[in-house]
Structures are given as structure tokens and as C-alpha cells.
Amino acid sequence: MISRLDFMFTIGFQGNTAIVDGSARRAYGRLSPRELAEKGLFKPAVFGASYDKDERALEEVLAAYNAKGEVKLKSVDALKRAFGVLESFDDIDRVMYV
């Protein structure tokens, strides 16, 4: 299973391997989903809140996204779809840092 930090900064997948942005992980890994969203880092914010199953944080990220984005999303589910959030982490068995 992939760690929360690795999942937050995943930029893609190659089979069962998550490709992680190591420099972004180091630079922003200590921030909460709300803080990431305030900096405009919506993908890691959505991924982090989704990994934690934190509906309140997802609502905060949605509000921040809608305040800054041109396209307004109507729900947390739409936000998750927009950023391609996985529902299951069990298939990820390796991590590669770039």
C-alpha cells in the first residue's frame, strides 16, 4: 500500500507503480490539504484529504478551488473526478521518485 505523502504527490502510474514528484513531496509534504489548496496545489490537497477520508477537508478544498478556478465544481465527487482520485490503494505496490 502507498503512503499518504507518496499518494498526495503522485503524478502518474506505470502499471502498479506510482510515479511521485519527490521535490514537491519534500517542499510541501508538511502542509495540510487546506494549506495546499490556499497555495493553489489542488491535486495534492484533494489526494491528501481523500486518503484521510476527511470530508470536511474535501469541502474546504472544493471551496478554495471554486474561489480560484474558472470552472466551478458542484460537489466533492466532481472534485475527485476532476483530479482523478483513486478509490483503492491496494493495487499500488511500488513507488518511483522523479
Domain ranges for the chain: 4-97
Written as tens digits, the pLDDT of the chain (98 aa) is: 899 999 999 999 899 999 999 999 999 999 999 999 999 999 999 999 999 999 999 999 999 999 998 999 999 999 999 999 877 777 899 999 99
Give the per-residue pLDDT at 1: 81
DSSP state of 93: -
pLDDT at 87: 74
Alpha carbons within 13 A on the beta-carbon side of 18 = 24
Is 17 buried (19+), middle (13-18) or exposed (0-12) by CB count in 10 A? middle
β-strands 17-20, 94-97 pairing:
parallel
Q: Determine the pLDDT at residue 79.
A: 96
Are the beta carbons of 42 and 22 closer than 8 angstroms?
A: no
- The residue ranges of DSSP E strands in the chain, in sequence order, are 10-14, 17-20, 94-97
- Its pTM stands at 0.90
> What is the DSSP pairing of strand 17-20 with strand 10-14?
antiparallel
